[in-house]
Amino acid sequence: MLSPNVDLLYKNHPLYKENSIVTRRFKLKEIEPLIKSLPAPFYAWPAGKSVEGRNIYHVRIGNGPVPVLLWSQMHGDESTATMALLDIFNFFQRNDELNPLREQILKNLTLHFIPMLNPDGAERFTRRNVQDIDINRDALRLATPEGQLLKRMRDSLQAVWGFNLHDQSRYYAAGANPKTAGISFLAPAYNEEKEINDVRGNAMRLIGMMNRTLQRYIPGQVARYDDTFEPRAFGDNIQKWGTSAILIESGGLPGDPEKQELRRLNFVVILAALEGIAQNIHQQYDFSMYDALPFNLSNAFHDLIVREVEMERNGKPYIVDLAFRREEAPIENFRQYYYRGSISEVGDLSTMYGYDELLAQGYRAVPGKVHATVLENIQELTALDLPALLKSGVTDFPVRVSRNTLELSKLPVKVVPPGEKNGAIRLGANPSVLLQKGGETHFVIVNGGLFDLRQDTHLIKEAVKNVSSR
């Protein structure tokens, strides 16, 4: 039986959302003032420093007998749960219909948060710390100050529960089905035999409850990691040291590139878990709901799959599926990014899925052409009839003065340096591709994005207008 608070948490999340942070790429300097200004009954102080001397904060609230430790952004580019923790801080400062839930959690639990364990990694939006060490593989040697701090806090608190908050690839599937793994769980193994004692068993029971909560909002999109024992990992060792450890990994949802819906779901499921611990609700669950979770299926998703399209190599036609991915390339001191597309897989992709898909039976894929005239700047694109040029097969436009931006990477045309040629349609390349039928171009793929020239004319013109106005 789900708590009635779950739907209220989901519905009311916009009231608690920290609106100063709305994208995944932020740094300590953005959240530090929020942490420092937390009012009583919060306590917040620097518990240590990173390699480069940035503060690592310990935030505490509650007076209950059960200590709970939650840490986020152990990997600097995994920030979804950090946003959710900021929202949780706001939640505990409100006075509304959920007061009984607040009182119950704070009466029974003492919550200890490390909102950003790896601020140096967050500064560069990268996984590892400045020593180039993966902190999550430093539980034994403790060569990193960040890992030392986490171990010290766990030991001093003797935390009964631990929430290890991460992001995973958005290309994972929740088992062998065409649904992305929005959130994945793991109750890490504490030995090679994957034995289940009370500590790990409690984590498995609680995950069963959390899974049931999430199925209400993302049915079929909850998965779990393989529980092979990793002797260097913090989750496995924290389980071994006597803290019931729950790994939460935020993956991908269609239409949620900045993971704001996943942020909301983290907010809901973490608070639901805390309520479950406070009331011992998790004890009502056996291991079946945990065991029933499908495993993450890695590399199952691509941003785009074009299925059953005809290509030609050495004068011979053949039918193939083409997959594209759009990776993030950082700009503006890692605060922003632009998309850089590439062909990520070729062949029979019937066991893979796309965020977007096109069944291209009867179409032929051929490389696009480069515009014959070099443009001086982006603004000169507005003088061209781009829909007509695209239909004629021109996809790449040499521009003398340009810079990479997110808006530029969303264009239905590719802006290239003078002299650059469009590449062949090959694995790992980023060619502009025409999809033609009967000699007419109906679709173009530019920088890994699909555009329908029969329907998207107004969108094409608007996209160019938005970029050229900057």
**CB hemisphere CA count around 154 (13 angstroms):** 24
Domain extent, residue 278, equals: 5-297
Query: What's the pLDDT tens digit per position in 29-82?
Result: 999 999 999 999 999 999 999 999 999 999 999 999 999 999 999 999 999 999
The CATH number of residue 339's host domain is 2.30.40.10
CB 150 within 8 A of CB 70: no
Phi, psi of 235 (to 5 degrees): -60, -45
Enter the tokens of residue 206: 């609680």
- In this structure, the answer to whether residues 293 and 434 fall within a common structural domain is no
Query: What's the pLDDT tens digit per position in 284-297?
Result: 999 999 999 999 99
Beta bridge partners of 91: none
Give the per-residue pLDDT at 159. Answer: 98
CA gap 36, 302 in Å, rounded: 41
Number of domains in the chain: 2
- In this structure, the answer to whether residues 270 and 308 fall within a common structural domain is no
**What's the pLDDT band for 1 if we cut at 50, 70, 90?**
low
DSSP letter, residue 217: T
- In this structure, the answer to whether residues 446 and 352 fall within a common structural domain is yes
Q: Does 402 score more than 90 pLDDT?
A: no
Enter the tokens of residue 355: 């965020």
- In this structure, the answer to whether residues 367 and 238 fall within a common structural domain is no
Could you tell me the sign of the dihedral formed by the alpha carbons of 125, 131, 137, 140, in that order? negative
The CATH number of residue 112's host domain is 3.40.630.10
pTM for this structure? 0.95
Asked whether the bond before 41 is cis by omega within 30 degrees of 0, the reply is yes
- In this structure, the answer to whether residues 284 and 342 fall within a common structural domain is no
Q: How many CB atoms lie within 10 A of CB 34?
A: 16
Query: What's the pLDDT tens digit per position in 439-466?
Result: 999 999 999 999 999 987 777 777 777 7
Last residue of one domain, picked from the residues 258, 278, 297: 297
Q: Does 184 score more than 60 pLDDT?
A: yes
Quote the distance between the C-alpha of residue 452 and its chain's center: 28
Enter the tokens of residue 285: 């669950």
- In this structure, the answer to whether residues 264 and 380 fall within a common structural domain is no
DSSP letter, residue 422: P
CA gap 145, 150 in Å, rounded: 9
Beta strands in 198-259 (DSSP E): 222-224, 244-250
User: Which SS3 state, helix, strand or coil, does residue 407 take?
Assistant: helix
- In this structure, the answer to whether residues 208 and 259 fall within a common structural domain is yes
- In this structure, the answer to whether residues 252 and 306 fall within a common structural domain is no
- In this structure, the answer to whether residues 280 and 325 fall within a common structural domain is no
Could you tell me the sign of the dihedral formed by the alpha carbons of 375, 378, 380, 385, in that order? positive
Last residue of one domain, picked from the residues 246, 277, 297: 297
- In this structure, the answer to whether residues 305 and 286 fall within a common structural domain is no
- In this structure, the answer to whether residues 75 and 138 fall within a common structural domain is yes
Last residue of one domain, picked from the residues 277, 297, 317: 297
- In this structure, the answer to whether residues 293 and 307 fall within a common structural domain is no
Beta bridge partners of 309: 320
CA gap 406, 411 in Å, rounded: 9
Question: Which residue matches tokens 């310990």?
Answer: 58
